[in-house]
Amino acid sequence: MTTTASETLTRRSFLESAAKTAAAGAALSQLPVERMVHAADNDTVTIALVGCGGRGTGAASQALSTMGPVRLVAVADAFKDRLEGSLNGLKRQFDKKVEVGEEQKFVGLNAYKEAIKLADVVILTTPPGFRPYHFAEAVRQGKHVFMEKPVAVDAHGVRMVLEAAQEAKKKNLKVGVGLQRHHQAGYIETVKRLQDGELGEITSMRSYWNGGGVWDPRKTREQVGSELEYQLQNWYYYVWLSGDHICEQHIHNLDVINWVKGFKYPVAAQGMGGRQVRIDKKYGEIFDHHFVEFEYADGSRNYSQCRHIHGCFSSVSEYVTGTKGHANVGGHTLVDFKGKLLWRHEGKAKDPYQVEHDRLFDAVRNNKPHNEAERGALSSLTSILGRLATFTGQRVTWDQAMNSKIVTMPDDIDYDDGVWKGTPPTKPNAQGEYPIAVPGNPEWFKRLI
Ligand SMILES: NC(=O)c1ccc[n+]([C@@H]2O[C@H](COP(=O)([O-])OP(=O)(O)OC[C@H]3O[C@@H](n4cnc5c(N)ncnc54)[C@H](O)[C@@H]3O)[C@@H](O)[C@H]2O)c1
């Protein structure tokens, strides 16, 4: 890569500040600094991966495919087998770009703190319940971050992320959030045209994540040592870890609508949902369908559906209606009310997962502004608001959701020397069944908001 002297200086000073933080961390952990910090004497950007699952492995591979010298230098996961599986795959693919010895592998619930110390950029891809805590720690340690969506599963987590996002700005840290549609040319151009008024005033919006769902629970009770481990293995089915699929997946579509609205967020939501098909106790406590009407300050509404039921109508998409016609936002087309095509995005699509990492690493190397944390947090709150509306069956306002004092993450969970300790907030009865939210029940309202 050709660079100018000033670019090199800028980049070096950036990396040095990250390296200094890493050196301070290394002193604390008494590990030899020179083995861990590559950034101080060259342009190599070092990476730590926290959460070595499907997406974490993918994100690390995208980070290792960015321009300029990069090295993966630390990995952390709650489970050793997940860590090893991911690392072996990355080593096969990237060979010398992976420099992770036994001392740079960290297992357990506090593993993230050690891994974060060793790198310039950290990738946070655990279940999202942990994200606010990991993000706050990364910012505290002065590290650049790529974190997956959602960035929180409750209002407490959203507030933590908003606070850390401000801190990150002060420290000039770069933060990418895995809402990759913002890095997809077709979306960018469609949203711009809508914001420029090509369809007139936007009067209504629709968004969908309807499909068959994700993986079935990975472990049975008999295969694990404790309820905590059981829930961590099968994290998707527990609200404190995933936020429910309305947060986990549908956030993408809700976020697109917030974007179309010019980064304005709903003022209230009401909806309905439940467990119709996925009712076995192994499916924890989340719903299998939600319908939510999100209300914006200008009176327009986003009619949102998300469903995890096989054999039904499937769609992952967003649509917008204006005073002059309709847009298929994900299909990148505008039509008039007679269905005549007004515009279609042309051009070869670049992989948005790669583009989001290219932009983040370019910002890190060349000191360009890049901080997606705040809007990631506000779109996360949008999906939490939707869940609160369907779980309670009430109209819930944005302010009620944002100011909720409920903290879903327990403060006593830990993993030490092969033993999982602490109690998850959701507990099964003697038959292994979990309490499921009952819309309309005032007790549930108090429990949730
Ligand atoms: N942007 C996208 O399109 C996209 C696609 C897939 C997943 N994701 C997001 O990525 C995140 C991870 O999803 P996934 O599919 O990779 O899940 P996964 O289960 O495959 O991976 C999660 C990993 O985190 C580990 N883990 C759990 N708790 C941990 C902790 N406290 N500390 C360290 N490691 C911990 C698990 O053992 C597991 O290896 C989710 O937030 C998901 O929404 C985003």
CATH 3.40.50.720 domain extents, the chain: 5-181+357-369
pLDDT at 27: 38
Residue ranges of the chain that CATH labels 3.30.360.10:
184-351+379-410+425-448
pTM above 0.85, yes or no: yes
Beta carbon of 55 within 6 Å of any ligand 1 atom:
yes
CA distance 114 to 50: 10
Q: Is the separation of the CB atoms in 62 and 25 below 8 Å?
A: no
d(CA 207, CA 316): 8
Ligand 1 pocket test, pick from 125, 351, 353 with the greatest ligand atom count within 8 Å of Cβ, gives: 125
Query: Residue with the nearest Cα to atom 2 of ligand 1?
Result: 178
Which residue is closest in CA terms to ligand 1's atom 43? 248
What pLDDT, on the 0 to 100 scale, is given for residue 6? 33
Nearest ligand 1 atom to the CA of 55 is 16
Q: What is the pLDDT along the chain (449 residues), one digit of tens a residue?
A: 223 333 333 343 444 444 444 444 433 333 333 333 344 457 999 999 999 999 999 999 999 999 999 999 999 999 999 999 999 999 999 999 999 999 999 999 999 999 999 999 999 999 999 999 999 999 999 999 999 999 999 999 999 999 999 999 999 999 999 999 999 999 999 999 999 999 999 999 999 999 999 999 999 999 999 999 999 999 999 999 999 999 999 999 999 999 999 999 999 999 999 999 999 999 999 999 999 999 999 999 999 999 999 999 999 999 999 999 999 999 999 999 999 999 999 988 899 999 999 999 999 999 999 999 999 999 999 999 999 999 999 999 999 999 999 999 999 998 877 788 899 999 999 999 999 999 999 999 999 99
Distance, in Å, from the CA atom of 101 to the CA atom of 20, rounded to the nearest integer, reads 22
Report pLDDT for 29. 36
Written as six digits, the tokens of 32 are 């030899």
User: For atom 18 of ligand 1, which residue has the closest CA?
Assistant: 53
Residue ID of nearest Cα to ligand 1 atom 40: 127
Span 5-181+357-369: which CATH code?
3.40.50.720
Residue 430 one-letter amino acid: A
Helices 131-140 and 155-170, packing angle to 10 deg: 20
Angle between helices 54-63 and 352-366 (to 10 degrees): 50
Ligand 1 centroid – CA 403 distance (Å): 27
Written as one letter, the residue type at 300 is S
Ligand 1 centroid vs 125 CA: distance in angstroms?
A: 5
CA distances in angstroms from 314 to 73, 177, 276, 306, listed in the order given: 40, 26, 16, 9
Residue 167 to residue 175: CA distance in whole angstroms: 11
How far apart are the C-alpha atoms of 287 and 439, rounded to whole Å? 12
CA nearest to 321, candidates 258, 260, 263, 270: 260
Calculate how far, in angstroms, residue 54's C-alpha sits from the geometric centre of ligand 1.
7
Q: Which CATH architecture has domain 184-351+379-410+425-448?
A: 2-Layer Sandwich (3.30)
Closest atom, ligand 1, to C-alpha of 82: 39
Q: How many CB atoms lie within 10 A of CB 349?
A: 11
Residue 240, both tokens: 């404190």
Distance in angstroms (rounded) separating the CA atoms of residues 437 and 232: 20
Question: Measured from the CB, is residue 149 less than 6 Å from ligand 1?
Answer: yes
What pLDDT is stored for residue 415 in this prediction? 85
| Residue 108 zone, left/alpha/beta (φ > 0; ψ -120 to 50; rest) | left
Q: Are 396 and 449 in contact (CB under 8 A)?
A: yes
What's the CA-to-centroid distance between 384 and ligand 1, angstroms? 18
Phi, psi of 109 (to 5 degrees): -85, -15
Residue nearest to atom 17 of ligand 1 (CA): 53
Give the separation between CA 326 and CA 199, rounded to whole angstroms: 7
- DSSP for 179-230, please give it: -GGGG-HHHHHHHHHHHTTTT-SEEEEEEEEEES-S---S--GGGSSSHHHH
pLDDT of residue 417: 75
